[in-house]
Structure 1
Amino acid sequence: MSKTALTLIPMQTIDNEKPAGDRLRIGECLVVLSSREVHPPDARKVQRLTPKSIGVLLALARRAGQVVTRDELFAEVWPDTMPTNDVLTQAITQLRKAFASAAVDGDGVAYIETISKTGYRLLVPVTWEDAATDAAGVDAEASDDAPQPAVVEPVAAVQDEAAARPAPARLPQRRVVRRYVLSGVGVLLLASTLVMAWLLWKQPESPAPQETVSGTRVLGSPERPYRLITSTSAFETHPDLSPDGALVVFAKESDGLSSLWVQSTGTATPVQLVMPPEGGSDRFPAWSPDGREIAFARFLADGGCEVLVMPATGGTARRVTRCDGTEMLSFDWAPDGRSLIFGSMTGSQASRGIRTLELASGRWTSFSYAMSGDDFDYAPRYSPDGKRIGFVRNPQVGDLWVMDADGSNAERLTEEAAEIRGWAWLTSSEMVFGRRVDSESRLFGLDLGTRLLRDLGIGDAQSPSVSRQGGNLAFMRDQPQYGLFRFPLGVAGGEPQRLFASSGRDGQPMVSPDGRQLAFTSDRSGAFALWWARLEAPDSLEMIDGFRPEARQPMDWSADARHLLVTGRDAEGLPGIYEVIPEEGQWSKLPVPVNEPLQAVYGRQPGTVLVVERAVNDRMVLALFDRTQTPWKRLAALEGVSQVRVDKTGGQVLFTRLGSPGLWQVDSSLALSSARPVNREVPTRWRYRTWAVADNGTVQYLNIGPRCATRLDAINPGANGLSQCLDAVRYSSGNGLSLAPDGSAAFIALAVADGADIGVMPVPRRPPRRLMGVAKWLPWLGKHPS
């Protein structure tokens, strides 16, 4: 908050003395210390705080109206410990949520103010209830009706005795109204009870749960909630449902090329929509609102790109715009069918932010809304009622956003920094999206009103599509199995060697600097975890449990090959950086002083660590820390970084940027003046994790080339790296590889079983919101069969 804003806060009389009571008033809210409860006015649900949050609240309340620094809060609430800033941030966030319903702005900021780089201040009055009030209770209604002290007015010395006689007692008006209201509520409750009894009597018996055994015979496994309508060896991707949900158009990928097909959501044979030209690929189909046309992107053999529209029944396609050089292309129809809405574009049609293209005139119109220079807004879609536009900001490490249809009031809906894999509107108030979780992608529903997520129970699923008229949901089901391989480099005819084979999904193989150890992630035990082994002793393989590693970010070995930095989450899902001693199976969570750590690597200088974080302003920042000091000292920072490695021989820090493709380097001090590009084209945004550095400074990149599913290329000019096709058919994982210290081998997670199909199912119904404990009995409130 600015200094000007600080002077506008009204002065209030605040009582900071603490009587011997258990209750205190914080603004309009009542706080009960013994039970750690916050009672907002007129709120049905009591908010319960953690002991640390109560401690922070008491510290702020004792000095209400004054700034309490972070160090003072740490000393009072976390004595004799070394907490990180995130524990205090979490406590403040919980307090603001508890006070949110009583705040004018609805988010609790009006109660607790953040003083930038200093601490916090409680802005509302604080009043401690006395012991008598504690014993009597604090019911607001009872206090309103309680007798008030009489106010004695002066009277004449001589007055008529009859006139001085007190008037007959009368009930207060509020109590009379309350009596009538309670009587009315009683009548309504009686009527609702009778109606519920009648409904239960008339309601037909619900079908029994699906049986798998009759007592003497096995009847079969229960049916899945979805059907797969494709089952070929090709990859069926990017499904889009017709408005009535009867047909689905999708891309079929084979041998590196793609074509569009249309199929009934039943079991009919698919029909090819259009034949792409020689060497071309058609992708990203989108059905028009009236169901008569399909828009799609065509990528040509010469590198050209165009967006086409053609009749859904087949025929001639017409070009509406070019998209040459565009990476991460995304578009959809406007509700009136007269224009297309596009996400951010690169290449010859480069444009930051969301804009629309009028099909008849070819005129572009951009939306005016707030976004930073590194933001990439992807997959914009109008809500079914046409009033809002949803989109994904930075889908590699981003969140879902929504704004009004005119571009105003843009706001973030999620706070996950997750890898979003497609999304769609379920209704005008709920979304469905695919999100990477550990080793798979799952579908989640998001309620825009409550911001609550619900797991739809559909694993290995992404790219959801919902018919505009509701009813059906289509998605891509992808169930790859990845194994770890050691590929010899520069050896003619060298055969890859599979390591530590299992039926699970292995990923992120990181070889140690001595070339003798390998750390990786896997769900081979049934739970996603970190694994370690010595390469010459396969029997040494063991799981390191206690935290869940992050699947998107690579690990980093220390120079002595003894320690390992791993990004992970604790049991509550909170992100952190863990330092592991793999050979001993020990680990500790590091006190990294950042908002949300996404990756950490050892710095070139002893005692330094480089951390990629998502800061409080949603910017991606690379920070250099001196960890020998307590708390860690921030030495330098560089904005816009999505992933980092250290060239330990050349002394350079290599990184990718969130706002553009390519590879960059900067000196070990992160001096901005030393930053320069290494390659401006690769890695691409989607494959920004598939590169590694050898000890000789060679940077190798896993690419998808023509007729080669997994290709390894050297991307730094003048390096001694190799370019070779590792596997013509099988694809590599998109989240990590490593190189042997001498550059003689690459350690890669390669698909040993792969394929993608299209699934279709009825739209999952939202669980009913309970009303007076009986909503589950009322069919019109969305009762599920049981």
Structure 2
Amino acid sequence: MAPNLTEKTSSDRLRVGECLVVLSSREVHLPGTRKTPRLTPKSVGVLLALARKPGQVVTREELFADVWPDTMPTNDVLTQAVTQLRKAFAATGAEDGASYIETIAKTGYRLLAPVAWEASADATAIDAPDAGGVSAAETAIAPMQFGVRGKHRRLRRHVLLVLGIVLLLSTLVMAWLLWGRAAPVAQDTTVADGNRVLGSPARPYRLITATEDVEVNPSLSPDGALVVFARERDNRSSLWIQSVGNATATPLLATPAGASDRFPVWSPNGRSVAFARFLAQGDCEVLVVSATGTGLRRVTRCDGTDMLSFDWAPDGGSLLFGSMTGRYASRGIRSLDLASGRWSSLQYAMGADDFDYAPRYSADGKKIGFVRNPQVGDMWMMDADGSNAQRLTDDAAEIRGWSWLGSDEMVFGRRIDSESRLYRLDVATRLLRDMGIDNAQSPAVSRGGGNLVFMRSHFQSGLFRIPLGANGGPPQRLFASSARDGQPMVSPDGAQLAFTSDRSGTFALWWARLNEPASLQVIEGVRPEARQPMDWAADGRRLLVTGRDVDGAPGIYEVAPEEGHWVKLAVPAGEPLQAVYGAAADSLLVVERGDDERMALTLFDRSQQPWKRLASLEGVSQVRYDRAGQRILFTRLASGGLWQAAPDLAADSVKLVHAEMPSRWRYRTWAVAANGAVEYQDISRECSSRLTAIAGDGSSQCLDATRFSAGNGLSLAPDGSAVFIALALTDSADIGMMRIPQRAPRRVMGLAKWLLP
């Protein structure tokens, strides 16, 4: 009869059916077999719990309490333990493992095989040596046991050897990385022992200019030691040069009275600088001067151009130009040979409405990068001969300057909400990373690598109501804040104002009644798009807003601002960029961008599900509906100027309203009043913010001689008596400089993520 299994025995051998379980080694033996399975400690615990009640059902709860006390295991761990026991018994060749342990559905398990501890006497008999000095049990088990254990020992030795080599190599790699790291700077640490404060965290950059003027368009010499930039003062600009340290800048050359010098670009050999000079009456010329400010010569004219861009070829013998407008207009990217003055156009694929801007050769000269349609565009790249043109980003973003980082990476500025930030782009993987630098644009990298300069702006804007024409009166500040307020859109009844602002710390949509300042409230849950204006319904109760969801996908939102309610509309368009109410109650006009990056204005009937497309016009960048004139007004990507069409977008109704206003770059700074008046806001030499009537007598009014406006939208009072506009309260820009941070390594077979370059 078996001993009481609830009592502790002196033996560590438990007989289960035909198998002998040695508890000290957790091995399962059967004489005459070559396999010796080893159990886990939890499997042994389950076996002992079942062995205490042989032939009886042991519930899962009892097993959990006995084997996994003070924990909350899942059923899976118990199932795994039982499975291992069955496999161990089956592996010895005794019987099927399931015949040893039975599963009781939804209850627990039962041990079917007879169990017994090896009695002390039996253990003595088993362990007693025979004439040869070996016990009977050892005689049966030893040949199998020691052979298997020998193999296990050899395997363990090999595994330990490999692990030792891996650990040694890891130690050497970590030691090399730690040795190569720069020693920490004390000023970079904010808090040391206890509460002792050492200083604010160091920024990844430093400002090398800090004047009251506006410094823009920086360019680095090839060795990264000198920077040339344009300094703006009194609506004019001149070129200055200084070292990347905080030395005093000096003028590169004298700028003639009434002229402005902009867009300096350093030559590959560091001896010359190419730049653009803008003269009176829209005259323009591209000049080259030595780095010492001598030897000035003109290489081409650029009269009347809009969005001029150019860069040096790697050999320094030619300049690469982007698309040009004006008197010397040309579509696409072309090269100007400086010795002969001959132009040569690159042959590559581009759409009829495409405007390719800021072309630049890669460091190895094999690629050309450029921005296609920078107002709502993306980064592109092609081979130096014009082949294999491909899009690198797909954001319809407002790109604000860019540069190569070597030959396989780019850095560019992109407007996000109310600010511009720097991003770096891996051209092979298309991976985009935020560099953590806010209010930054116009990056430039030294051709030799290492240094990066950029323009860092300090801009704060406020909302103003400015009377127009004979009404006179001073500007009125609306809903004052210390943040960036923009896109003020007055309702058709003139009583409400919707606008965007980061006054709460995040960029959001705001609404208020103009005569009730206490009504000001934020519309929760809507992240508006800063580039596109909002549009009020005729009854002033609803508002169409372009926004982005939590994943950054663009969409159109219909907002009831007074109630704070909104809904995202099911616009059947891949990338809706703007929407306005049409002539009919259920018609909407949507500016969209298709998969081919082509822009179009589409008229939808939303009374049907899905929405029905009624008509479409290609190449439209922004739209307004003139209710008084019963016409659609819009701008185009391909050219400056204002166009109109009938409410049904009939192709034969399209005609030009004005050939020059708005310009291609300032395509958002125009508005339509309820009485049909159309006004355009731009900049002149004498006025920082000027409003000009596109229709009628073309009269102009200077809104503010010194303060620039935010370039993302304005609105007119219903009767055209006033303009609602965002003007700069503080507006300055400095040049920042930093070392280019090493990029994260690309993953190779999943291993490179563990190693730094």
How many Å apart are 1:186 and its aligned residue?
A: 11
1:387 to 366, 380, 384: 366
SS at match of 1:583: coil
SS at match of 1:754: strand
CA distance 1:227–1:269, change in 2 (3 Å): same
How many Å apart are 1:316 and its aligned residue?
A: 2.4
1:275 aligns with 2:254: yes
- Aligned equivalent of 2:589: 610
CA distance 1:689–1:184, change in 2 (3 Å): farther
RMSD: 2.0
- Contact between 2:313 and 2:319, CA under 8 Å: does it hold in 1? yes
How many Å apart are 1:325 and its aligned residue?
A: 1.0
SS at match of 2:280: coil
| One-letter amino acid matched to 2:223 | D
1:482 aligns with 2:461: yes
| One-letter amino acid matched to 2:242 | Q
How many Å apart are 1:314 and its aligned residue?
A: 1.4
SS at match of 1:735: coil
Residues 485-494 or 388-397, more deviating: 485-494
- Aligned equivalent of 1:418: 397
| One-letter amino acid matched to 2:307 | M
| One-letter amino acid matched to 1:226 | Y
How many Å apart are 1:213 and its aligned residue?
A: 2.8
2:729 to 725, 747, 752: 752
How many Å apart are 1:195 and its aligned residue?
A: 2.3
1:499 aligns with 2:473: no
1:515 aligns with 2:494: yes
- Aligned equivalent of 1:539: 518
1:633 to 600, 612, 622: 612
- Aligned equivalent of 1:91: none
Separation (CA, whole Å) in 1 of partners of 2:691 and 2:282: 21
Separation (CA, whole Å) in 1 of partners of 2:297 and 2:682: 32
| One-letter amino acid matched to 1:194 | L
- Aligned equivalent of 1:118: none
Separation (CA, whole Å) in 2 of partners of 1:216 and 1:590: 53
Separation (CA, whole Å) in 2 of partners of 1:772 and 1:764: 24
Which string of whole-angstrom CA distances, capped at 9 and with x for unpartnered residues, describes residues 296-345 of structure 1?
01111232111111111111211111111111110000000000000001
SS at match of 2:566: strand
2:280 to 301, 321, 325: 301
2:376 to 381, 397, 421: 397
How many Å apart are 1:483 and its aligned residue?
A: 0.6
How many Å apart are 1:539 and its aligned residue?
A: 0.6
- Aligned equivalent of 1:435: 414
How many Å apart are 1:491 and its aligned residue?
A: 4.1
- Aligned equivalent of 1:667: 646
Which string of whole-angstrom CA distances, capped at 9 and with x for unpartnered residues, describes residues 442-488 of structure 1?
00000011101000000000000000000100000012001100111
Separation (CA, whole Å) in 2 of partners of 1:760 and 1:676: 48
Separation (CA, whole Å) in 2 of partners of 1:333 and 1:184: 61
Gaps of 5+ in 1: 1-182
1:138-157 superposed matches below 5 A: none
Number of residue equivalences:
597
Separation (CA, whole Å) in 2 of partners of 1:772 and 1:316: 55
1:84-103 superposed matches below 5 A: none
| One-letter amino acid matched to 1:735 | N
Separation (CA, whole Å) in 2 of partners of 1:532 and 1:670: 32
Instruction: Give the TM-score taking structure 1 as reference length.
Output: 0.74
How much identity, in percent, do the aligned residues show?
68
SS at match of 2:347: coil
How many Å apart are 1:735 and its aligned residue?
A: 0.5
Separation (CA, whole Å) in 1 of partners of 2:731 and 2:597: 35
- Contact between 1:441 and 1:462, CA under 8 Å: does it hold in 2? yes
How many Å apart are 1:382 and its aligned residue?
A: 0.2
Separation (CA, whole Å) in 2 of partners of 1:673 and 1:593: 26
CA distance 1:775–1:452, change in 2 (3 Å): closer
Separation (CA, whole Å) in 1 of partners of 2:234 and 2:390: 41
Instruction: Give the TM-score taking structure 2 as reference length.
Output: 0.77
1:193 aligns with 2:167: yes
- Aligned equivalent of 2:579: 600
- Aligned equivalent of 2:304: 325
Which string of whole-angstrom CA distances, capped at 9 and with x for unpartnered residues, describes residues 175-203 of structure 1?
xxxxxxxx999998764532222344564
- Aligned equivalent of 2:36: none
1:304-383 superposed matches below 5 A: 304-383=283-362
Separation (CA, whole Å) in 1 of partners of 2:235 and 2:630: 38
How many Å apart are 1:233 and its aligned residue?
A: 1.4
Separation (CA, whole Å) in 1 of partners of 2:754 and 2:348: 45
Gaps of 5+ in 2: 1-156
How many Å apart are 1:494 and its aligned residue?
A: 1.0
CA distance 1:711–1:185, change in 2 (3 Å): farther
How many Å apart are 1:708 and its aligned residue?
A: 0.5
- Aligned equivalent of 2:738: 761
- Contact between 1:678 and 1:717, CA under 8 Å: does it hold in 2? no
Separation (CA, whole Å) in 2 of partners of 1:401 and 1:557: 36
Separation (CA, whole Å) in 2 of partners of 1:414 and 1:230: 32
- Aligned equivalent of 1:250: 229
CA distance 1:386–1:733, change in 2 (3 Å): same
- Contact between 1:621 and 1:640, CA under 8 Å: does it hold in 2? yes
- Contact between 1:490 and 1:722, CA under 8 Å: does it hold in 2? no
Separation (CA, whole Å) in 2 of partners of 1:551 and 1:746: 19
CA distance 1:455–1:189, change in 2 (3 Å): farther
CA distance 1:349–1:189, change in 2 (3 Å): farther
SS at match of 2:652: helix
CA distance 1:628–1:201, change in 2 (3 Å): closer
- Contact between 1:567 and 1:599, CA under 8 Å: does it hold in 2? yes
SS at match of 2:741: coil
CA distance 1:427–1:533, change in 2 (3 Å): same
Separation (CA, whole Å) in 2 of partners of 1:206 and 1:240: 28
- Contact between 1:278 and 1:301, CA under 8 Å: does it hold in 2? no
How many Å apart are 1:616 and its aligned residue?
A: 2.0
SS at match of 2:171: helix
Separation (CA, whole Å) in 1 of partners of 2:735 and 2:432: 24
- Contact between 2:471 and 2:721, CA under 8 Å: does it hold in 1? no
Which string of whole-angstrom CA distances, capped at 9 and with x for unpartnered residues, describes residues 512-540 of structure 1?
00100000011111111110001110011
SS at match of 2:286: strand
- Aligned equivalent of 1:703: 682
SS at match of 1:302: helix
- Aligned equivalent of 1:92: none
| One-letter amino acid matched to 2:721 | S
Separation (CA, whole Å) in 1 of partners of 2:740 and 2:222: 14
SS at match of 1:249: strand
SS at match of 2:710: strand
Separation (CA, whole Å) in 1 of partners of 2:315 and 2:401: 23
- Aligned equivalent of 2:270: 291
How many Å apart are 1:774 and its aligned residue?
A: 7.3
Separation (CA, whole Å) in 2 of partners of 1:752 and 1:185: 70
SS at match of 1:688: coil
- Aligned equivalent of 1:161: none
Which string of whole-angstrom CA distances, capped at 9 and with x for unpartnered residues, describes residues 116-147 of structure 1?
xxxxxxxxxxxxxxxxxxxxxxxxxxxxxxxx
SS at match of 2:365: coil
SS at match of 1:340: strand
- Contact between 1:547 and 1:571, CA under 8 Å: does it hold in 2? no
SS at match of 2:413: strand
| One-letter amino acid matched to 2:189 | E
CA distance 1:287–1:189, change in 2 (3 Å): farther
Separation (CA, whole Å) in 1 of partners of 2:340 and 2:529: 47
SS at match of 1:290: coil
